Structure 1
Amino acid sequence: MQIVQGMEYFFSGFKLITQKGLKRFVFIPLLINILLFGSSLFFLFGWLSDSFSYINDMLPQWLSWLEWLMWPIAILMVLFSYSMLFTVITNFIAAPFNALLSEKVELYLTGQKINDDGFAELVKDIPRMLAREWTKLCYYLPRAIGFFILLWILPVIGQILWVLFTCWMFAVQYEDYAFDNHKIGFKQMKDDLKSKQGLSYGFGFAVMLLTAIPFINLIVMPVAVCGATRLWVDNYRPKYRS
């Protein structure tokens, strides 16, 4: 079943990040994720705490119990909504390092270099990589806004569609690094992912689940890059090597 296979590809990333020759390329994406994700969550929960204290002061005493109801709702929204938005922003910053990690994972898995470019060429590619992240951000934001509005109009349907959209975006975000390393266009990448949607949604669902788990979410980014690259090697790379 493709959904299960997609999840397995993500979890294979945990083994890949420990492999000799890859660990040093994991360090920078991991450090960026820990610093940005960890610090932002700290300030976000501080802001939520202050906001709830303000709201609780405005409520009559007999409604003070609402604070206990608002906290779990807010935490769930943070874990499943903010995490996706933050992932897009963090990956914008970490794009060159994630792309390099994906390249090295592909080399580890196949024994073949993507190209023979040196470090200077990698630096020259940074504007293109950032432009690709901007394309993903432009793809994500209007759809996220639309699904978020629907979430309030039709809560049940909206929640289902929001989860599906989040899974899809995690797949797009992380599987795209290998495609982009091979200079494959964003539209073509989406078409390829749609051709095997079960893999994409399974992979994205696994990323979404672990992104919602405190502390584990700090290592999700490099794990997802590694797992997505293995998914690329097994399922899409042969198409472009023929």
Structure 2
Amino acid sequence: MQGSPGKAIDYFFEGARLIVKPGFRRFILIPLLINLVIFVVVTIALFHAFGDFFTQIQAWSPTWLNWLTWLLWPLVGFVFLVVYGYSFNIITNFLAAPFFGLLAEKIETELTGTAPPDEPWGQLIPRTLQREAVKLWYFVSRGLLIFALFVVLFFIPGANLLGVLIGVIWSCWCMAVQYSDYPADNHQLSFRELRRKLNKQQLTSYSYGGIILLGSMVPVLNIFVTPIAVAGATLYWVREVKQL
């Protein structure tokens, strides 16, 4: 496997330092406001879903199995957090895609001195939303298969952790693809070709996605993770992915 987890960490933290510089702050204001609204809605939904899930499990389980229910709750809680981070990112990126594309463009221009091909807002917004729909279909269609596999493995003793691991790896890949797509889309690179390029640097790509997923699982911090993720992914694009 090619790539390096260390590079992924460097890209993320360098992206965090980059977006607070003068000239970039105005490009993250609207995405942060969108993130704030989504954070409130998704967090409330998570707490209700988590509580309802355990209420149903306890209602269905015989009394003598209640100890097993409480034994499983840390594992189920972790799964809910992964789903929370995954859902937060998917919804946020669908709504804020045009602004994240613009942020990626400005960062690339700052890094290289050359701007991606210019595009009027009237073309940019519908095209980026269409691109988000393509990504959403990719994530959801394959994600449902991963979820089905997870459900099957969850009820097999000793295999439930494997199901969680597969789900986490898939979520890491989705995060890497999602955020690397902004600079790639500015150059109108096909979604399939982007995935092929990212797969050539698997350790960097999966590690970068994992950092984003981890940050997205932490309430409040996840509000700020998405613009940082765009900046770090743009650095990754300029320095490595673009040349692959």
* Alignment of structure 1 residues 141-152 onto 2, 5 Å: 141-152=140-151
Q: Deviations over 1:67-109 (max 9, x none)?
A: 7546534431221123213311221111111111111111122
Give the fraction of aligned pairs with identical amino acids, expressed as a percent.
40
Partner of 1:3: 5
Deviation at 1:167?
0.8
Among 207, 222, 225, the alignment partner of 2:212 is 207
Equivalent residues in 2 for 1:7-156, closer than 5 Å: 7-50=9-52, 52-53=54-55, 68-69=70-71, 71-117=73-119, 121-154=120-153, 155-156=160-161
* 2:232 pairs with one of 227, 236, 240: 227
CA RMSD of aligned residues (A): 2.3
| Structure 1: runs of 5+ lacking an equivalent | none
- What's the offset of the Cα at 1:38? 2.7
5+ residue gaps, structure 2, are 154-159
Give the TM-score, by structure 2 length: 0.86
For the residues of structure 1 that align with 2:192 and 2:77, how far apart are their CA atoms? Answer: 34
Aligned to 2:180: 175
Aligned partner of 2:212: which letter?
V
Moved more, 184-193 or 59-68: 59-68
- The one-letter code of the counterpart of 1:133 is E
Amino acid of the structure 2 residue aligned with 1:180: D
Secondary structure (helix, strand or coil) at the match of 1:21 reads coil
Q: How many residues align?
A: 236
Determine the C-alpha separation between the residues in 1 that align with 2:52 and 2:165.
Answer: 30
How far apart are the structure 2 equivalents of 1:53 and 1:168? 32
1:187 aligns with 2:186: no
- Whether the 8 Å CA contact 1:34–1:219 is kept in 2: the answer is no
Q: Could you tell me how far apart the structure 2 residues matched to 1:61 and 1:186 are?
A: 51
Paired residue secondary structure (1:219):
helix
Q: Give the distance between the partners of 1:25 and 1:105, measured in 2 at CA.
A: 10
Report how far residue 158 of structure 1 moved: 1.9
Per-residue CA distance 1:40-90 (angstroms, 9 max, x = gap)? 212331343355456657777776666754653443122112321331122
Instruction: Out of 12-21 and 145-154, give the one that drifted further.
Output: 145-154
1:166 aligns with 171
